């Protein structure tokens, strides 16, 4: 028997169903349809508008995205009348008010800077990686020391371990259960990460600049029905539409990209192809001295450059971390795409302000691996200086 004031079980299931449809439509950017579902919920149980700030918040975001600013404000105020301290609602209200302050005009879209990407540089990278992969099937994934050949099982194990580290973060920050989600991997190489990712995610897509690498990936993952690989243009994710993935990842790649514009373009592209609330994890070596890379040694990425490159994008930073035991100072960054116009604080968006934490990434991956990789040698080297926060 239901208690007085409680929603009876059948009706509750219906509302949960409506909410999940509304939420998925909002995430997919279909705000008008999503709004219909939020409104159905509220018509059914009007008091939910007061009791469930999340429903009301998402409804207000849809209204705002559709340019219905007055109604968005009304919605957010009804929530605040009952929960005056709800931080998400307070931020949204102040954002709506700042829009209204500009006489009801909607915020002009920031000029999207045309990215200058030298095709010569990209083609040079493609030649380099095609050449390296033709010399040795797995040898240039986690470079081997001279004369070494990867033990296939050990190779697979390093992929599993990196994916464990990714999953820790996806589970912490993501909203969609990986087994129901799609993930895109940029710079998939021969499928070392894609294979274990395919055991966790519903669909895995991998792109790489090198056709040779993609060919090996297809062979390496041939037993898996849920993985698709393709060769890309080396700087964009143009074959994927906006808001189509829940997760995106790239590891072991940016430290090799010599052109900083290409790296920044990939980060912007990753945000574009993610659904709101989707997660992008990327890693790079934070010890680089030169702004321009050479050969397979990537350009230096700094917090200042990231701030400038992403200033007009919809995201919040969830993690900037470094593994204290890692001599090459790999930096792992996790971003979450926000809904269009969703308010964020300066600290959530600024790489220069966001607090760096310590978290494992490289340590433990190669410790008991017998095949000698360059990582083994690097671990004996002294700690390199972290240049990520350099300002010049």
Ligand X SMILES: C[S@@+](CC[C@H](N)C(=O)[O-])C[C@H]1O[C@@H](n2cnc3c(N)ncnc32)[C@H](O)[C@@H]1O
Q: Is 214 left (phi over 0), alpha (psi -120 to 50) or beta?
A: alpha
What's the min distance (Å) between Cβ of 112 and ligand X?
21
Between 124 and 348, name the residue whose CB sits nearer to ligand X. Answer: 124
Range 88-99 burial, b when 16+ CB lie within 10 A, else e: bbbbbbebbeeb
What's the min distance (Å) between Cβ of 217 and ligand X?
9
Between 65 and 183, name the residue whose CB sits nearer to ligand X. Answer: 183
User: Which among 303, 291, 212, 210 has a CA at the least distance from the CA of 258?
Assistant: 291
What's the min distance (Å) between Cβ of 234 and ligand X?
4
Between 58 and 185, name the residue whose CB sits nearer to ligand X. Answer: 185
Between 252 and 278, name the residue whose CB sits nearer to ligand X. Answer: 252
What's the min distance (Å) between Cβ of 362 and ligand X?
12
Between 41 and 125, name the residue whose CB sits nearer to ligand X. Answer: 125
Contact 22, 37 (CB under 8 A): yes
What's the min distance (Å) between Cβ of 328 and ligand X?
13
Nearest residue to ligand X, using CB?
Answer: 189
What's the min distance (Å) between Cβ of 299 and ligand X?
11
What's the min distance (Å) between Cβ of 141 and ligand X?
5
| Strand-by-strand arrangement of the 203-208 sheet | 227-231, 203-208, 182-186, 245-250, 274-285, 330-337, 315-322, 357-358
H/E run at residue 372: none
Grouping H, G, I as helix, E, B as strand and the rest as coil, residue 203 is strand
With 0-12 CB in 10 A as exposed, 13-18 as middle and 19+ as buried, what is 209? Answer: buried
Between 176 and 262, name the residue whose CB sits nearer to ligand X. Answer: 262
What's the min distance (Å) between Cβ of 135 and ligand X?
13
How many Å apart are CA 198 and CA 200, to the nearest integer? 5
Between 221 and 251, name the residue whose CB sits nearer to ligand X. Answer: 251
Between 53 and 234, name the residue whose CB sits nearer to ligand X. Answer: 234
How many Å apart are CA 279 and CA 273, to the nearest integer? 11
Binding site for ligand X (CB under 6 A): 125, 129, 141, 187-189, 192-193, 208-210, 213, 232, 234, 251-253, 256-257, 262
> Pairing state of beta strands 330-337 and 315-322?
antiparallel
How many Å apart are CA 212 and CA 371, to the nearest integer? 23
């Amino acid at each position: 028997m239901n208690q007085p004031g409680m929603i009876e079980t059948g009706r509750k299931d219906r509302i949960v169903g409506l909410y999940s449809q509304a939420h998925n439509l909002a995430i997919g950017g279909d705000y008008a349809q999503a709004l219909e579902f939020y409104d159905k919920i509220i018509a059914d149980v009007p008091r939910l508008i007061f009791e469930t700030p999340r429903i009301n918040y998402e409804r207000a975001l849809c209204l705002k995205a559709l340019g219905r600013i007055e109604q968005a404000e009304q919605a957010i105020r009804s929530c605040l009348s009952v929960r005056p301290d709800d931080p998400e609602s307070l931020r949204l209200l102040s954002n709506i008010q700042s829009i209204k302050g500009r006489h009801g005009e909607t915020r002009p879209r920031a000029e999207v800077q045309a990215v200058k990407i030298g095709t010569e540089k990209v083609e040079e990278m493609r030649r380099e990686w095609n050449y390296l992969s033709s010399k040795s099937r797995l040898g240039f994934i986690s470079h081997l020391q001279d004369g070494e050949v990867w033990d296939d099982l050990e190779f697979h194990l390093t992929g599993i371990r990196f994916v464990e580290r990714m999953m820790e973060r996806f589970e912490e920050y993501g909203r969609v259960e990986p087994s129901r989600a799609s993930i895109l991997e940029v710079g998939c190489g021969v499928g070392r990460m894609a294979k274990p990712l395919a055991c966790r995610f519903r669909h895995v897509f991998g792109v790489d600049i090198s056709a040779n690498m993609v060919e090996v990936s297809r062979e390496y993952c041939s037993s898996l029905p849920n993985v698709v690989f393709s060769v890309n243009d080396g700087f964009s994710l143009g074959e994927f539409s906006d808001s189509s993935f829940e997760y995106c990842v790239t590891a072991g790649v940016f430290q090799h990209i010599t052109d900083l514009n290409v790296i920044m373009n990939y980060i912007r592209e990753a945000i574009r192809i993610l659904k709101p609330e989707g997660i992008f994890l990327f890693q790079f070596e934070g010890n680089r001295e030169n702004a321009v890379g050479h050969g397979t040694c990537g350009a230096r990425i700094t917090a200042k450059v990231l701030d400038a490159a992403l200033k007009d994008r919809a995201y919040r930073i969830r993690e900037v971390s470094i593994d204290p035991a890692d001599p090459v100072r790999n930096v792992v960054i996790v971003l979450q795409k926000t809904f269009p116009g969703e308010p964020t604080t300066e600290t959530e968006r600024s790489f220069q302000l966001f607090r760096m934490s310590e978290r494992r990434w490289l340590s433990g991956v190669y410790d008991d691996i017998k095949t000698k990789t360059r990582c083994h040698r690097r671990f004996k080297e002294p700690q390199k200086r972290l240049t990520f926060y350099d300002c010049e």
